[in-house]
Amino acid sequence: MFTVLRDRTYRHLFAAQAIALVGTGLATVALSLLAYDLAGADASAVLGTALAIKMVAYVVISQAVGAVADRIPRRALMVTTDLVRGGVALALPFVTEVWQIYVLIFLLQSASAAFTPTFQATIPEVLPAERDYTRALSLSRLAYDLESLFSPALAAALLTLISYNLLFFGTVAGFLASAALVVSAVLPKPSPAGRSGGPLAKATYGARLFGATPALRALLALNVAVAAAGAMVVVNTVVLVREHLGRAAGDVSLALGAFGAGSMVVALLLPRVLDRFSARAVMLPAAGVLVAVPAVLTAALAAGAFSWPMLPAAWAVAGAATSAVLTPSGNLIRRSVAPADLPAAFAAQFSLSHAAWLLTYPLAGWLASGAGMTAAAGALTAIGLLAAVAARVLWPAGSSGHGEVLAVQAPVETMKRDADGEHRLAA
């Protein structure tokens, strides 16, 4: 897997991603403490609102950026967004009102919504060989999982020496280092897409690509299955551990760590698996596992048989299945669209996948608070089941295979022929 790091450009981009992730993790811890300082007992409401703002920025801004990403030099775009994120992080220690948190979080996450899809669309052009790109996807997943374990531990260690406000300066350093690494990399120029139509048509082009391609329609459903199971983990772990099991606060970290560990194990194994099996053969069974985990949890809660060993074991399985769905998605997008359409397609995936989280995050919390944890787990199981079944129906066997490049299956009236003779979805 690590052989892809021999490529200098990819090595610099991967390092930029990893360092920025650590900086973001430090900011997450510091932001929680800042919210508590400003709002006290209402800190949960502040953080919940900030999370909703983050998701809205991801859904809206990434689509807008996808409309123009093919006309902006990628290095300039990524460096600019890193500098914006660094500037916002620099301002956070000086916040004195809750509304200021909301404004700065919107700016920070808007910049991330521009950076991340651009980064994702660049990697398949830096590593054109499918075998190398598959390993890069696994490394990227591994970086996310390691950050979720490393950043809180680093923040805890630093907080024994400094105040939480100084953690934001670690975030600033991370984004500046990321920008420097991107500057040092030689990136491919974006291929002009040559799309017609107004701003709205260009902004929604990536979403229409998803709607016109069977495998990408299935990916939309798979995103919902991931979000349904993931929301149960992210939103309700603390309540399950503290209220239902009566465990210590430290066990919350252990349960969440089990999710990350399961994801990392699969990320390490997937390159070899995907050398032998198609993405469909991996992703669809994994979606079934994502349904089974909350289903078992629902049954255990209803029967009064829920126990501590069950929770980390269930979360480890959920983490493994999540990685098995998300890691191959980049390859699936790469095979399904023309090279010039990669920025729009990755922007659409970023936007639409977070739209699913925007649905399941509040649903998991509201149902757990209002109707009880069993009802919340049952509802998320039902959503995941519908999504998994839809993915299987939308992605029939034989519609894609290992190494196959898919044509965009659009209705005749929405297709046009470019000057070079290639069919592409009309914008």
In the predicted structure, residue 416 carries a pLDDT above the cut 50: no
The encoded tokens of residue 171 equal: 């975030």
* Mean of all residue pLDDT scores within the chain: 84
**Given this model, what pLDDT does residue 252 score?**
81
**Given this model, what pLDDT does residue 296 score?**
96
In the predicted structure, residue 16 carries a pLDDT above the cut 50: yes
User: How is 164-180 classified by DSSP, letter by letter?
Assistant: GGGHHHHHHHHHHHHHH
**Given this model, what pLDDT does residue 193 score?**
57
**Given this model, what pLDDT does residue 190 score?**
64
**Given this model, what pLDDT does residue 198 score?**
67
Rounded CA-CA distance 359/357 in Å is 5
Assigned fold of 198-396: Growth Hormone; Chain: A; (1.20.1250)
The region of weakest confidence among 5-9, 189-193, 252-256 is 189-193
In the predicted structure, residue 11 carries a pLDDT above the cut 60: yes
Return the domain boundaries, the chain: 1-186, 198-396
Q: What is the mean pLDDT of residues 132-148?
A: 84
Confidence band for 420, pLDDT divided at 50, 70 and 90:
very low
Q: What is the mean pLDDT of residues 125-141?
A: 87
Rounded CA-CA distance 140/145 in Å is 9
Q: What is the mean pLDDT of residues 363-382?
A: 90
In the predicted structure, residue 394 carries a pLDDT above the cut 90: yes
User: How is 316-345 classified by DSSP, letter by letter?
Assistant: HHHHHHHHHHHTTHHHHHHHHS-GGGHHHH
**Given this model, what pLDDT does residue 117 score?**
86
Does 198-396 match 1-186 at the fold level?
Answer: yes
Q: What is the mean pLDDT of residues 328-335?
A: 90
Confidence band for 419, pLDDT divided at 50, 70 and 90:
very low
Q: Is the Cβ–Cβ distance between 223 and 353 less than 8 Å?
A: yes
In the predicted structure, residue 61 carries a pLDDT above the cut 70: yes
**Given this model, what pLDDT does residue 417 score?**
34
Q: What is the mean pLDDT of residues 17-39?
A: 85
Q: What is the mean pLDDT of residues 238-266?
A: 85
- What digits encode the pLDDT tens for the residues 286-304? 999 999 999 999 999 999 9
The encoded tokens of residue 18 equal: 């990893």
Q: What is the mean pLDDT of residues 338-357?
A: 86
- What digits encode the pLDDT tens for the residues 401-413? 333 343 443 333 3
**Given this model, what pLDDT does residue 410 score?**
39
Residue 79: partners with Cβ closer than 8 Å, 6 or more residues away = 179, 182, 183
**Candidate ranges 20-24, 312-316, 331-335; pick with highest mean pLDDT:** 312-316
Confidence band for 195, pLDDT divided at 50, 70 and 90:
low
Confidence band for 192, pLDDT divided at 50, 70 and 90:
low
Rounded CA-CA distance 31/168 in Å is 9
In the predicted structure, residue 357 carries a pLDDT above the cut 80: yes
pTM recorded for the entire structure: 0.80
Confidence band for 44, pLDDT divided at 50, 70 and 90:
low
In the predicted structure, residue 173 carries a pLDDT above the cut 50: yes
In the predicted structure, residue 121 carries a pLDDT above the cut 70: yes
Q: What is the mean pLDDT of residues 281-289?
A: 96
Assigned fold of 1-186: Growth Hormone; Chain: A; (1.20.1250)
The region of weakest confidence among 231-235, 299-303, 397-401 is 397-401
Q: What is the mean pLDDT of residues 134-139?
A: 87
Rounded CA-CA distance 45/128 in Å is 45
Rounded CA-CA distance 375/377 in Å is 6
Rg value, the chain, Cα: 21
Consecutive H or E run containing 283: helix 279-303
The region of weakest confidence among 34-38, 105-109, 147-151, 240-244 is 147-151
